[in-house]
Amino acid sequence: MNLSCVVKGREARRVRIDGEQFAALESVIGNDLVLVRGGAGTGKTLLARELARREAGAGRKVLVLTFTEALGLELAANVDGLGIVVSPVGRFALERLRRRGFDEEERYEPEFWDRVTRLAAESGALWMGCGFDTVIVDEGQDFGKHEWAIVMRCAGTGERRSGEKGKRRIWVFADEGQAFWEKRKIPPAIEKHAVKFDLGRPYRCPPGIQALADAYVGKTGDGSFEAVAREVADGTIKVISCGDTEAEAHEAVGREIRALKTEGFADSDIAVVSLRCMMYPGNIMHQKELGGCELAQATDLDKRDRVVCDTFLRYKGLERPVVIVADIKTEAERYAVRMNIAVSRAFGALRVVVPRRELEKDGLLGKIIEFTKVSE
């Protein structure tokens, strides 16, 4: 049995756990303000999607807001035809502003989106008639004060219209362990008044991959690296040391893509996740092809049959059977969080392509190299 068959077997088993998680969540499902916390791989996005479906099925007007564009598009595709509005919060704000004459050209730069959300949050008239019965926030840890102001405007305040039952609902799903902007926090009012629910143990990733992701953010448990060692031995986890130039590193990623395909993986099973941000000119996501395969970005939903190649921030909340982590630079801002996000996108197998000089600076990857030598 090749590695691809093993990974697909793991995927089938976890479907049952999704149901178990939602059954537990039903204990608080009747509440109007709920904060759901869970680490990477605990099923937050899957549960947010299921909650949206149930609320829409009950006749409620539902809005789902995400932080990243790709996750918003993916969720929208999964609830298409149900009357649920799904959007990245920045784009939702931009569309409202466009209706009021805002004509500034769209740019990727964070400064543009900060301006968009600030202008939208400060304009009360912009949100007239925009009250939703249920607002679901995914990636809540990444929302800033202007994004939260938009959430509150969309949910409205106080009781619903005369004759209708219940208050407007806000459900927030968050993982502070994957927060990239340190100053962004869940609003104190939500922290104080929301019913809290902890999703508990992660289940998406194999134990060794999960242990490695947790180790980067200081959540190691007893025996965690024994799980890593086992998955190094069976081929689930592999660290590939390469030359120090960008060209050498990118060539190594291409070779690993070809190797994975010999293991039975399709292009659509593979994601290359860069630890660099999109604006960095040497980011591997700017390549047209790797390993003889055409690439797509996470936002290219019509190209899902291709190898996806994108940044750790743009791939948050998404997953593929096998992930190749690339563009590693240990001196990057919040490197540990970047690694936690990237590693935890893999629910089957993990490959980390790291330049030799960076490998020397990352003790966790160094341990894996030692495990590899032992298993050989």
Summarised one tens digit per residue, pLDDT across range 127-151 is 988 889 999 999 999 999 999 999 9
Cα–Cα distance measured from residue 281 to residue 107, given in angstroms and rounded to the nearest whole number = 16
| 181 and 270 fall within a common domain | no
Cα–Cα distance measured from residue 141 to residue 213, given in angstroms and rounded to the nearest whole number = 18
**Is the distance from CB of 36 to CB of 295 less than 8 angstroms?**
no
5 pLDDT higher than 70: yes
| 219 and 160 fall within a common domain | no
Domain final residue pick, 148, 177, 198 = 198
Cα–Cα distance measured from residue 108 to residue 269, given in angstroms and rounded to the nearest whole number = 27
Q: Report CA-CA distances (Å) from 177 to 93, 190, 253, 312.
A: 26, 18, 27, 14
Cα–Cα distance measured from residue 80 to residue 76, given in angstroms and rounded to the nearest whole number = 6
List the beta bridge partners of residue 354.
241
| 347 and 364 fall within a common domain | yes
- Residue 345 DSSP one-character state: T
| 64 and 159 fall within a common domain | yes
Phi, psi of 329 (to 5 degrees): -140, 110
Range of the domain at 326: 207-375
Domain final residue pick, 131, 163, 198 = 198
Cα–Cα distance measured from residue 122 to residue 368, given in angstroms and rounded to the nearest whole number = 50
Domain count, the chain: 2
pTM of the model: 0.89
Pairing of strands 289-290, 293-296: antiparallel
DSSP assignment of 11-67 equals HHHHHHHHHHHHHHHGGGTT-SEEEEE--TTS-HHHHHHHHHHHHHHTT--EEEEES
| 191 and 111 fall within a common domain | yes
Q: Which of 329, 201, 193 is nearest to 274 (CA)?
A: 329
- Residue 180 DSSP one-character state: S
Residue found under tokens 């330049």? 355
Q: If 0-12 CB within 10 Å is exposed, 13-18 middle and 19+ buried, where does residue 286 land?
A: middle
| 191 and 216 fall within a common domain | no
| 76 and 129 fall within a common domain | yes
| 98 and 238 fall within a common domain | no
| 158 and 231 fall within a common domain | no
| 187 and 213 fall within a common domain | no
202 pLDDT higher than 90: no
**Is the distance from CB of 86 to CB of 58 less than 8 angstroms?**
no
Query: What average pLDDT is seen over the chain?
Result: 88
| 15 and 37 fall within a common domain | yes
Ranges 23-27, 291-295, 344-348: which has the least confidence = 23-27
Rounded to the nearest 10°, the torsion over CA 274, 277, 280, 286 is 50
Ranges 3-12, 86-95, 229-238, 352-361: which has the least confidence = 3-12
Q: Tens of pLDDT along 22-61? A: 676 677 778 899 999 988 888 888 889 889 998 999 999 9
Cα–Cα distance measured from residue 283 to residue 344, given in angstroms and rounded to the nearest whole number = 20
**CB within 8 Å of 142: residues ≥ 6 apart:** 67, 68, 179, 180, 181, 184, 316
Averaged over 350-373, what is the pLDDT? 92
SS3 44: helix
CATH number at residue 39: 3.40.50.300
Domain final residue pick, 198, 223, 248 = 198
**Is the distance from CB of 241 to CB of 256 less than 8 angstroms?**
no
| 248 and 356 fall within a common domain | yes
